[in-house]
A and B are shown apart, each in its own frame.
Chain A
Amino acid sequence: MALVAPRENDGVNTSPTVADEVKTTTCYMCACRCGIKVHLRDGQVRYIQGNRDHPVNKGVLCGKGSAGIMQHYSPARLRKPLKRVGERGASEFAEIEWDEALEIATTWLGDIRKTDPKKLAFFTGRDQSQSLTGWWANQFGTPNYAAHGGFCSVNMATAGIYTIGGSFWEFGEPDWAHTKYFMMFGVAEDHDSNPIKIGLGKLKARGAKFVSVNPAQTGYSAIADEWLGVRPGTDGLFVLALVHELLKAGKVDLDYLVKYTNAPWLVVQAPGSADDGLIARDDQGNPLCWDKTTNAAASALRADVTPALRGAFDVNGKKAVPAFELMAARYLDDAYAPEAVAARCGISAATIKRIAAELAHAAFQETIELPIAWTDWAGRKHDKMVGRPVAMHAMRGISAHSNGFHTCRAIHLLQMLLGTIDVPGGFRYKPPFPRPTPPGPKPAGKAGAKPNTPLGGIPLGFVTGPEDLLLDEAGRAIRIDKAYTWEHPIASHGLMHMVIANAVKGDPYPIDTLFLYMANMAWNSSMNTRATIDMLTAKDESGAYKIPHIIYSDAYFSETVAYADLILPDTTYLERWDCISLMDRPISDAEAASDAIRQPVLQPDRDVRSFQAVLLDLGARLKLPGLVNDDGTPKYPGGYTDYIVNHERAPGIGPLAGWRGPDGAQQGRGNPNPKQLQAYIDNGCFWRGEIPHEAHYFKMANATYLNWAHGMGFLPKPEQIVLQIYCEPLQKFRNAARGAGPVQPPEKDRARIDAYFDPLPIWYAPFDEAAVDTTEYPLHALTQRPMHHYHSWGSQNAWLRQITAQNRLFMHRDTAAARNINDDDWVWITSRAGRVKAQVKLVDGVNRDTVWTWNAIGKRKGAWALAPNAPEATRAFLLNHVISEHLPDGRSNSDPITGQAAWFDVRVKVERAADHEQNDASHDFGELHPPPGITPGPDVLQYGKSFREAAE
């Protein structure tokens, strides 16, 4: 019950007016996408509150979201379109009108499109509108499109999709209400930021055990019941040792494996033949198992079989073995015994054995049952749902290593063996997941780019074998980033980190225009920042830039602004429309599908336009199919909102799933509803479509769920999704490497494909680590994302930068002592790629062979409207400076399966800096001068004073 104001008679106004108006929208202070209520007073933001009704954050708001006011009013906001008038990097610009800016862009892009559309490389950063940007690239006709997933966590996403039809990130969640044992491997703080915090609060209140596997005992590790300070890049080995222990003891859920995974599928054993290692199939292409009842091979998709999990069988004259046996034989090997891996992982054999025992105990002795009757894919009724209450989450730490794909698959394998995927207490899918393993479509662009012609599909997709690679007749890469080539065959999110280097080298070909959105490639979003800056300014013999045109859209004066030729200033997140679409990065939870919008709560006071509106405008000016009508007039003259409401990707399916149909009564599918956005606004700017209660678990095999998801347009067919302990597409690539099939890898890639395209999870030393002398570079170096900063955005924020303006290098006390390094000393961090200076902070809670720091705090002097003396520029540092995008052998420093940038693999040495260097970070990048319109922020900030004056 509410408190009643007492009669204190001290003159305090206990009921001041808070707002003239409260508007809902969606936060953009990180990737979490929480619902917010923005309290407006006299045309200014008074207060930003979490929206209690919102499915993501349920009313709470994190440290970043609560500082949104300072992001919105940042002095670093760009104010007007800019044209470069000096040299690149000199930050000399002229302000121009939008008409001129769009005319310049249209001319450059128009020339490309009518000659060779692939000369446009269109890459977006922390873009939340990838279903629009990818579709736009398709209409333009360039295969060279991706967002930043290639250096974020693509190996997590891909491993998940190809294994369980879903993934960690924010696309699944632990069953916070029921799990009794939760293991977290690393974390990326901006993904599911508030849901994880809310969930951990619940776990702790219920007394569930929380184990954190992370080299650094910070953030969530601080409240974990047990912290395992694993050596970076060895999580996979640790997990496979757990698998070894569970298999040895028979503590695996055979029933689950037979019902929901491909463990019983027969694998052809015919070394040297083209189908070796592939799944044995019948004439219809169905996978086969060995049915013990009939003692014959039978379709593994039938409901009435009793499949064998071990044995060797003759199938059409060839030997075939259940995938389970191959898997079990591999991990029962002593190479995976705890004793064999302990030293390498930095976790004792006794601890590994105990964790395995605890997992087994939670899964098999603490089984839970929910009284929910359900029907499985075969129509069989079950009167309850039985769950094994072990849940896992994994993210960066797994992802940024070159062995991350296999490590992520190992974690999913562990979950499958314990029978914990989408069961009560386990890891749960959020719709539209699970999807088929893998889903369609294939990446478009196989035919190459053709003048004035759309690509024919979305550039990013899922390959299932060598025939899907994007190679031309001569076997050369079709894409500038060499995604979907033999170097990185399953590069599902592209390789943004290789675009600039490849374009400058002209390998596979030069480009004309690099079009970037919200990606700080000239600073913290690149590995090897110095070299990237050099490449952006590199010229050929004629004195022309090797990348002739760079167009950049950003809301703020980031470092990359200085290197672009044309700047298209974006709005802040409080000034824009957006759709948080199920076709892009959904915000669903395990019990509902959800999407959301942003609405402008304030109008820009500057001459800026939302990037998405500009992109649609550009598309119409370029007369791109899909963006203009037959008569050449813009298809979406109303701009971004027009697109959000009226665009249909397939009949009845558009960017937003809620309130479709002429009367707004349909969800998922339905004709465009002209009043759709108002319906969202009336509902707090989000839509949440609940999954039927009986479909809350076992979604991969639950008839009610499969039918619901099919009806919503999430699944092409309402068929069971079989989880893949054995990943057949990998074997297809491997067989090609062994000589099978018409699409053959070049000799230089043959051994590598053979080694890494193992259909069962493997572990190998991270490449950058394996490539250097580890006695010279004895330490691992990595970054963690602070909970109160998001990429480079935090340091322009007057409040957030007061919490952290200088990132220290965290180092174990003993590791420091052995190097005569004292607390607060300045040290040189040196890798094979370069060196950077940092100030240490000595701690106990870190793996002894690891140093780490907060990421993206360091700034280029002068950028982001910070004063040149700001500690972000003088005392903070970026670890990026010592990480190369190339391995010593010239290959991309990436996961060999997915192309994921391996920026956690770097090895370094750390030495105390000389006495005369003990004062600051000594960066020598030079100072960036602000473009026109940007003035330094005020020395004295008294935000909110006017609210009080008005109240008095």
Chain B
Amino acid sequence: MTSLPAKTEKKLGLVIDLDTCVGCQACVTNCKQWNTGGHMAPLTDLNAYAAEADGVWFNRVHTYEVTGSTACGASPARNSSSRTMHFPRSCLHCEKPDCVTVCPTGASYKRESDGIVLVNEDKCIGCKLCSWACPYGAREFDVFEGVMKKCTLCVDRIYNENLAEEDRVPACVLTCPTSARHFGDLGDPNSNVSKLVAARGGVDLMPEMGYAPTNKYLPPRARKDTAPAAMPAPELAPAPGGFLGWVDKLLSR
């Protein structure tokens, strides 16, 4: 069994905005192309051009319909009782991850410096205990290589001195077209990501499990689906004098 650091110096992680995610899969494929040549390369694809294609992906986006009046963002004034939600899913780099503590060899570990959860493939025996322990389904077993792989938070990008400074963020954050993904130190209350979480009421995923995920999700904002309160209702009452009256004012070209 593998022990966790008592505390980490930083809590690097992601903040994912469910209000603006359109499910475009940019973060998914950008993660794939970076990481298939990166720290845990390759992200093997089986049956790549046939039935039952099945590859290793560190980041996946699922689309759900959420129904009922309690659905995030749904409200009676919308023309549907449901809303479509796009939900990006990757390792949450938990503070208390069982995926690490169950590891019999020390292959899974949480870094004391930045809190990133990694796998040392040299020590991994492919027992998959970690994937059973992770309630988020974030572990990705490479069947062909027989080792467990997972999101590295782009540990080979975020400190990489060969990249321009502004590019030293995880690939998923770098590429997100709607700016729905943010990266930073969630252990620092003054960081941009911590402020964002505070301002938008960011939440933990399945907090009841007790893993204390580092990554946070920003819930959808309230929908603006009714007329502004200041507008007299109905504003569109016929104008004084009727149609002909208001057209007759003097208008210059």
Contacts and interface: CB of A to CB of B under 8 A. Distances in A.
Interface of A: 1-8, 10-19, 41, 46-50, 52, 57, 59-67, 69, 75, 193-194, 197-198, 200-201, 204-205, 207, 209, 217-223, 225-229, 245-251, 254-255, 258-259, 264, 289, 292, 300, 302-307, 309-310, 324, 328, 332, 347, 351, 353-354, 356-358, 360-361, 365, 787-788, 796, 798-803, 805, 843-845, 865-867, 869-871, 874, 936-945, 947-948
Most chain-B CB neighbours within 10 Å: which of A50, A197, A944? A944
Contact of B155 (A14, A226, A865, A939): A14
Nearest to A846: B80
Nearest to B35: A944
Q: Is the interface of B mostly helix, strand, loop or mixed?
A: loop
B244 A347 contact: no
A248 B238 contact: yes
B179 A249 contact: no
A839 to B, nearest CB: 15
A198 B79 contact: no
Interface stretch (B112-120, B130-138, B207-215): B112-120
A69 B33 contact: yes
B245 to A, nearest CB: 8
Which 3 residue pairs across A and B have the least CB separation, nearest first? A250-B239, A63-B25, A6-B113
A5 to B, nearest CB: 4
B29 A66 contact: yes
B224 to A, nearest CB: 4
Most chain-A CB neighbours within 10 Å: which of B163, B176, B253? B253
Nearest to A301: B253
A14 B111 contact: no
Interface in B176-195: 176-180
Contact of B22 (A222, A292, A306, A937): A222
B46 interface: yes
A303 B159 contact: no
B39 A12 contact: yes
Contacts of B50: 866-867, 869-870, 936, 939
B162 A357 contact: no
A866 B49 CA distance: 5
B54 A14 contact: no
Interface in B1-41: 9-10, 12, 19-26, 28-30, 32-39, 41
B235 A3 contact: no
Contacts of A49: 167, 174-175
Given A17-B162, A802-B54, A249 B237 contact: yes
A788 B236 contact: no
Contacts of B225: 225-226
A948 B53 contact: no
Given A8-B111, A941-B46, 17 more contacts: A7-B113, A15-B161, A18-B162, A47-B33, A198-B177, A200-B22, A204-B20, A227-B83, A250-B246, A251-B235, A302-B253, A307-B253, A357-B227, A799-B55, A937-B48, A940-B44, A940-B46
A185 to B, nearest CB: 15
A515 B248 CA distance: 59
B99 to A, nearest CB: 16
Contact of B159 (A3, A10, A360, A787): A3
Contact of A201 (B42, B179, B252): B179
Most chain-A CB neighbours within 10 Å: which of B23, B81, B180, B235? B235
B175 A874 contact: no
Contacts of B46: 939-941
Nearest to A69: B33
28 contacts: A6-B113, A10-B118, A14-B156, A41-B37, A62-B177, A63-B25, A66-B26, A66-B33, A198-B177, A217-B84, A222-B63, A250-B243, A254-B246, A258-B252, A307-B253, A357-B234, A365-B231, A798-B55, A799-B33, A802-B55, A867-B47, A867-B49, A940-B45, A941-B45, A941-B46, A942-B44, A942-B144, A944-B36
Contacts of A936: 49-50
Contacts of B177: 57, 60-62, 193-194, 197-198, 201
Most chain-B CB neighbours within 10 Å: which of A66, A207, A218? A66
